[in-house]
Amino acid sequence: MTENEQYSTRGAYVTGGAEFTRDTNYIEDRIVADPEATRALPAPPPSKVGSLGFGLSAGAEAWPVEAGRYRLVAANACPWANRTVIVRRLLGLEDAISLGRPGPVHDVRSWTFDLEGTTLNVGDVDPVLGTARLQQNYFKRFPDYPRGITVPAIVEVSSGEVVTNDYPQITLDFSTEWREFHREGAPDLLPGLGTGSGELEEMWPVITRIFTEVNNGVYRCGFAGSQDAYEAAYARLWEALDWLEERLATRRYLMGGTITEADVRLFTTLTRFDPVYHGHFKTNRNRLIEMEHLWGYARDLFQTPGFGDTTDFVQIKRHYYVTHEDINPTGIVPAGPELENWLDPHDRERLGGEPFGDGTPPPEVREEERIAAGHNPLVPA
């Protein structure tokens, strides 16, 4: 048996006859501004979208916020990782938290820090952590770690040990616990926090529905193990997308006139919809570009600094079509669709509002973090 056969992902995603159920058990440690105060807060209720105003889950640890201590490991290909990169950039945390980017393809073991363009996804190490596989950083802390090696993950640089991979909570903590290191003019992605205005109370069911029915809904379609499971997932997904299409007909962003955490969470699914989910995951009632308001909204965000400039369409397609051997055993990556239409005018300004509210857009992407030329219509070949 070859190494490729030994570590194949076949059977890792699709279970015959069953509905796909995401494992949402993560390392729930948190990096917080005041560990002692956080430990004194009540434990959070069960949640798949994170929580605000609570302390630690049972068994979790609190780590102190400290610039330069941690590295965010976030693959361009992964939607959950992509949203941590967007929030980090919007808030201006680049100096405080460094960024490591695994390649787009992995086997059943782990994401790897591969050289761009290498056929077998091998040949490099992370320049800061010195590891070739993210698995090594998980095993440094938990030698018998029993779950999947997921991104995003935050790793302590000095020890090389994973701190957390609790992606729903990571972006919330970037907004709340890392405020000392936010750039001047950073947007308020959690409007109304601590004011009692009710804005967050309105946002919470929106992001919950986006996660269960859209972010995870496309996977429920793609990894369905039976026709019945697929058709049920398909119906749920399109009911939610139709709800979003109606919601966005009268408001520029999900919560009104400025971008919020909710928009970040939806955006990374929308960018992957036509290139991947429509065909690969069989979510093919229609394409995103055929939905007037969702498509205009997606383009509006894509053309906003922090969103499109963190999107790597080449790596996105390569990840899904090569890694998911259950669904695409040939590993052939489709040539289309054309992507230049992401830069077409969106006309969403007519709905009013400003993406950053009273804040300002982030500065230009740092050279070392730019998406490769040709991987994104903002960066032509």
Instruction: Give the catalytic positions in this structure.
Output: 78, 219
By the 8 A CB rule, do 214 and 240 touch? Answer: yes
By the 8 A CB rule, do 221 and 281 touch? Answer: yes
- C-alpha 10/C-alpha 222 separation (Å) is 14
By the 8 A CB rule, do 105 and 322 touch? Answer: yes
- Among candidate residues 156, 165, 170, 30, the one with its CA nearest the CA of residue 111: 165
CA angle 335, 329, 334 (to 5 degrees): 5
- C-alpha 214/C-alpha 207 separation (Å) is 10
By the 8 A CB rule, do 227 and 211 touch? Answer: no
- C-alpha 320/C-alpha 76 separation (Å) is 12
